[in-house]
């Protein structure tokens, strides 16, 4: 294993090259990485984030509400659009739409374990039909000039290592620009640990860039995946409620101290509250007041996870219906939280 470094890297397809200064990416998360939060993450230095997964069929059928998922593209950094489906015709249509909408990268979801997705043969269920998976990828590649990747699991229930190896070779043979591996099976959903040893072996099977996902909570996790040969690392649940995570993780990998329990100091708490207010503002503007408050509540509760007296507020959180009510709760929390500054144990 070599020493991991914060090095620039590229995503390539033909003459198209997208350049990154560091290897940290925000993973797609339906219900977690909506547009307002992506706006904040990109303002805080994120270089690549993804839309929530978008149904290729809904795009094909022109379902209006789907637009909210993909109609924003950052001014700084890159936007990946993630689509799901199992029908090559719908996926081809979706690929063209996403390119037209201005996204610079396209990702096919081959990992979602949710029943409502897998029962149609989409998401992780595509792993059960590799022939159709390869056919769909070839069709997508014929439909767009964007760099295309897949985000997959180690298997559905389980995949024999030789079968996984063959699948990786076949995926590489299509001309995909990268593979993202969430090193759990679909059966595991989001629990149990990601199989990092299998990840290391998988990287060695091909020469396609592999992006790692699964159990990324600290800079040590990032370093470990880089040591195992990952080209880049996706952070998912690790940054919910903390838009500073990527920046802090990069600083830590470059030698600065990592604060496990963040925020702690008065300045850190003030910054967190400023970002929380900004997040609310983006949410209200993007969705309108009623929907904006509903969508903001779950994010608010993730920010509160980092705060000692969260329980009392968490119970009241779900009654917030207006921007004014949200702001007044943030003000209430501000006083209590600042009083806890520099306490080491929350």
Ligand X SMILES: Cc1cc2nc3c(=O)[nH]c(=O)nc-3n(C[C@H](O)[C@H](O)[C@H](O)COP(=O)(O)O)c2cc1C
Catalytic residue set: 112
Q: Which is nearer to ligand X, 73 or 330 (CB)?
A: 73
Give how many residues touch ligand X by CB under 6 A: 22
Q: For residue 254, what are the CA distances in angstroms to 141, 219, 227, 239, 283?
A: 37, 10, 15, 19, 33
Cβ neighbours around 318 below 10 Å, total: 12
CB atoms within 10 A of CB 182: 26
Structure letter (DSSP) for residue 115:
H
Show contacts with ligand X in window 17-36 (CB under 6 A): 27-32
Q: Which stretch binds ligand X (CB under 6 A): 127-135, 165-173, 212-220, 293-301?
A: 212-220
Kindly report the length of the chain. Answer: 346
With CB under 6 A as the contact rule, the residue among 36, 209, 214, 229 that binds ligand X is 214
**Helix 310-317 / helix 289-304 crossing angle, nearest 10 deg:** 160
Only one of the segments 127-135, 136-144, 213-221, 225-233 lies at the binding site for ligand X (rule: CB under 6 A); that segment is: 213-221
Report the first-to-last Cα separation within the chain, whole angstroms: 37
CB of 189 to ligand X, least distance (A): 9
Residues in Cβ contact with 272 at an 8 Å cutoff, skipping those fewer than 6 apart: 242, 244, 263, 303, 306
- CB nearer to ligand X: pick between 214 and 292: 214
61-90 positions binding ligand X, by CB under 6 A: 82
- Work out which of 151, 239, 299, 306 binds ligand X, going by CB under 6 A: 151
**Does 242 sit near ligand X (CB under 6 A)?**
no
Cα–Cα dist 314/266, whole Å:
22
Judged by DSSP in three states, 78 sits in strand
Angstrom distance (rounded) from CA 137 to CA 106: 11
236 binds ligand X (CB under 6 A): yes
Regarding 52 and contact with ligand X (CB under 6 A), the answer is: yes
Q: Which of 40, 53, 212, 317 binds ligand X (CB under 6 A)?
A: 53
Residue 224 binds to ligand X (criterion: CB under 6 A): no
Determine, following the binding rule CB under 6 A, whether residue 294 of this chain makes contact with ligand X. Answer: no
Please give the Cα distance from 304 to 277 (Å, whole number).
13
For residues 29 and 317, which CB has a smaller minimum distance to ligand X in the complex? 29
Using the minimum distance from each CB to ligand X, give the nearer residue, 13 or 153.
153
Query: How far is residue 165's CA from residue 298's CA, in Å, rounded to a whole number?
Result: 39
* Structure tokens, 119: 């029962």
**Cβ distance to ligand X smaller for residue 109 or 143:** 109
For 276, the enclosing helix (H) or strand (E) is: helix 266-287
Q: Which is nearer to ligand X, 155 or 273 (CB)?
A: 155
329 binds ligand X (CB under 6 A): no
Q: How far is the CB of 34 from ligand X (least distance, A)?
A: 11
Between residue 90 and residue 149, which ones bind ligand X under the rule CB under 6 A?
A: 109, 111-112
The first and second tokens of residue 95, run together, are 């690929």
Q: Is 237 in the site for ligand X (CB under 6 A)?
A: yes
Chain residues binding ligand X by CB under 6 A are: 27-32, 52-53, 82, 109, 111-112, 151, 182, 190, 213-216, 236-238
């Amino acid at each position: 294993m070599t020493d991991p470094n914060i090095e620039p890297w590229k995503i390539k397809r033909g003459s198209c090259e997208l350049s990154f200064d560091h290897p940290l990416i925000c993973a797609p998360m339906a219900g977690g990485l909506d547009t307002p939060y992506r706006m904040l993450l990109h303002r805080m230095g994120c270089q690549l984030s993804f839309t929530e997964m978008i149904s290729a069929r809904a795009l094909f059928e022109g379902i209006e509400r789907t637009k909210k998922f993909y109609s924003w593209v950052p001014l700084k950094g890159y936007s990946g659009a993630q689509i799901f489906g199992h029908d090559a015709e719908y996926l081809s249509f979706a690929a063209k739409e996403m390119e037209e909408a201005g996204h610079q990268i396209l990702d096919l979801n081959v990992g979602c374990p949710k029943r409502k997705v897998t029962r149609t043969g989409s998401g992780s269920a595509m792993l059960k039909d590799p022939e159709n998976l390869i056919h769909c990828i070839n069709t997508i590649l014929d439909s767009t000039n964007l760099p295309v990747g897949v985000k997959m699991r180690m298997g559905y229930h389980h995949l024999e290592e030789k079968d996984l190896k063959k699948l990786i070779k076949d995926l590489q043979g299509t001309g995909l620009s990268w593979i993202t591996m969430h090193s759990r099976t679909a059966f595991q959903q989001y629990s149990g640990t990601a199989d990092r040893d299998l990840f290391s072996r998988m990287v060695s099977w091909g020469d396609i860039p592999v992006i790692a996902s699964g159990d990324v909570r600290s800079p040590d996790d990032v370093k470990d995946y880089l040591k195992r040969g990952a080209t880049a690392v996706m952070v998912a649940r690790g940054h919910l409620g903390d838009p500073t995570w990527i920046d802090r993780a990069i600083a830590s990998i470059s030698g600065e101290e990592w604060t496990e329990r963040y925020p702690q100091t008065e300045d850190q708490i003030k910054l967190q509250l400023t970002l929380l207010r900004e997040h609310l503002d983006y949410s209200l503007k993007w969705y309108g007041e009623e929907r904006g408050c509903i969508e903001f509540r779950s994010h608010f509760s993730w920010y509160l996870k980092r705060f000692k007296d969260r329980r009392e507020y968490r119970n009241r959180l779900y009654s917030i219906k207006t921007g004014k009510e949200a702001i007044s709760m943030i003000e209430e929390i501000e006083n209590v939280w600042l009083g806890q500054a520099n306490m080491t144990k929350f």
